Structures are given as C-alpha cells and as structure tokens.
Amino acid sequence: MQPAGIAALGLLGLALTTPPSLGQSAYPSRPITVIVPFAAGGPTDIVARIVTGHMAATLGQQIIIENVVGSGGTTAAIRAMRSTPDGYTIMMGHMGTHGAAVALNPTVGYSPSHDFEPIGMAVGMPVLILVRKKLPAENLTEFIAYLRDHAFPLTMAHAGLGSVSFATCLLFNSIIDAHPAMVAFQGTGPAMQALIAGRIDYMCDQIVSAAPQIGAGMIKSFAIASPQRSPILPDVPTAAEAGLEAFQVSAWNALFAPKRTPPTIITQLNDALGQALDDPLTRKQLLELGSEIPGTDGRTPGALTNLVNSEIVKWMPVTHSVTVTGR
C-alpha cells in the first residue's frame, strides 16, 4: 500500500476509535476550577465549597476552588470572563460581582449579562448588621445614635467597592446619614476576624459566616435586613422591628460560565447544581448556616438572567446617591 493510503486508513481508524472524550459528550474529562472572588473562609467561599462538594460527585471530576481576590470581586469576574469557554473554569458570583459592582462602576470591565452564561442560583443570603462585641450599644437605636454622635468616625469593614458588604452598608449608612471610615479587606472572612478582635466597629455581612460568630458570642448583631427573622437566629430582630424599615436587602450566590460556553455544558452544570441543592446533606449544611435554597423555578439559567438584570437596576440609585470614599 502507498504511504498516502496508509495515512488515510490511519486517519479513518483514528476517527472510528476516537473516544468521545474529545467531544462535548465526555465533559468533564478533567478537574473543573471554580473561581471564588473573595478570600477563603468568607461567605462566598463557604457556599462554593459546600455546593461544589456535591457537584463534583455528580460530575465525576474534582472541583478545585481558586480564591482570586481584589477590587471587590471584579478581578475574579474579569478573570472568569476571559477564561476559555469550555466548562473547565466557572465562577461563583454574587449580588456584588454580578450586580452592585457594575451598578457602581459601569466601566468595571465586564457586563454580567453579556459576558457570562448563567448556570444557576445556588443560595439566597440574608444580610445582617454586625457590631464588635464591646461597642457600647445594645440595640439598633443605640448603635445608630453612637454611630452618628461619636466624636471620631467609626470604622466600617467591607470587601471592596461593589462587594455585598460594601453595597449593603452603603445603603445602611445613607439611610441613617452615617459617615464611617471605611476599611477594605480581601473578603469578609478576614474582615470578620478584625471585627472579632475589636479592630473594626461594624460591618454588614452575609448570614453564613456571621451566624456562627453571633452564636458563639464573638460579635453582636442588631438587625437582619429581611422581612422575617432567620430561623437560625431567632433573637435577632428584623430591621423593621428594630426601627429601620427602609433597610431591606438580601444577597445571593450563583454560578456563571464565560460567554459562549456550550449549552450542553451549561445544562450539565445546572443539573449538577440542582442535584446538590436537592441532596439532603448539602441542604442541611446550607440551611444550618441560614442560607435560603431556591426552588426549582429559581435555579434555571433564565431565572438567574432576570435576577442579574434586576439587581443592576436596583443598585444603580443606591450606589450613585452617595459619595464613595472607599477608604
């Protein structure tokens, strides 16, 4: 046989024996990286590790969490946006990275709706006002008076411009006309350590990392910014009960893939996410930390698209009505 014929037969043989691992149907054939836009130990990291633990088992591949910190989560979002859209790099985004950060700075470098494929919402996340243990106030009214009247500005921790802790406390401060000295951290995980140590006066943070510290008496909480009290923190009043009805906010975490990730892969990831959210042990872990698990209607990529669009519109007036010092 002529060499060309041999080559042709060889190619034919390769085509017949090529395993589907080179095609989409074999996805995933290697570990998946989930970018978390804040430091380890914070709310986004906690949720990502719980949810992807179960997703890894469903997908039959390891899922690696990569904490990419900086610029209120937007460094990570840009990194995720620029990743190859093959399903091997996705991101745990949230109300900040895919909402408030872009409302705050439309030239941040990405569009949550145009540069990402929504995979699905993981959890809803109540937000609380948290105060260092020894601050001399026992309820929200006393805290607001102390915050307004203190001779020196109190210190408020946040996780960067546009983060959940930044945007939600921006709203809180604007409602009560407070002007704290803002101190940025690479996530509310490290900010929480500063609050526990008494190096920071207050912050607005998500329930999953706040609840264990409140329960252990390491910090105080004067209000949850939700319509109802949380079942895991029954002694913490709602903002309305505490006298600040206008402070109503809630955060969320959701998975996003870079734009042009194939629809079959998005479907697989969404299905694995749904299985995680239906798994009794995963649910128990999430619920015991106070997060809220979306029903099946709230987990679809379409529902996440609507949520992202509504959040940008919602946060636009808040982030533009105040002077941002971001110290």
Q: Which residues bind ligand MLT (CB under 6 A)?
A: 38-39, 42-45, 94, 96, 159, 163-165, 187-189, 206
- What lies within 8 Å, CB to CB, of 274 at 6+ separation is 120, 296, 299
Cβ–Cβ contacts within 10 Å for residue 105, how many? 16
Closest CA to 135 of 215, 202, 186, 233: 202
- The minimum distance between CB 64 and ligand MLT, in angstroms, equals 17
Q: Contact 33/88 with Cβ under 8 angstroms?
A: yes
* The one-letter amino acid at 236: V
Q: Smallest distance from the beta carbon of 54 to ligand MLT, in angstroms? A: 20
CB of 44 to ligand MLT, least distance (A): 3
- Token reading at 15: 């085509």
Q: Which is nearer to ligand MLT, 35 or 59 (CB)?
A: 35
71 or 268, CB closer to ligand MLT?
71
Q: How far apart are CA 43 and CA 206, in angstroms?
A: 6
Report in angstroms how near the CB of residue 283 gets to ligand MLT at its nearest.
21
The residue among 59 and 191 lying less far from ligand MLT, judged by its C-beta, is 191
Q: Which is nearer to ligand MLT, 27 or 166 (CB)?
A: 166
Residue 85 vs 311, nearer CB to ligand MLT: 311
Please, which residues have CB within 8 angstroms of residue 297's CB and are 6 or more apart in sequence?
303
CB of 148 to ligand MLT, least distance (A): 24
Cβ 21 to ligand MLT shortest distance, Å: 35
Closest CA to 319 of 80, 105, 18, 95: 105
Nearer to ligand MLT, 28 or 96 (CB): 96
CA 140 to CA 143: how far, in whole Å? 5
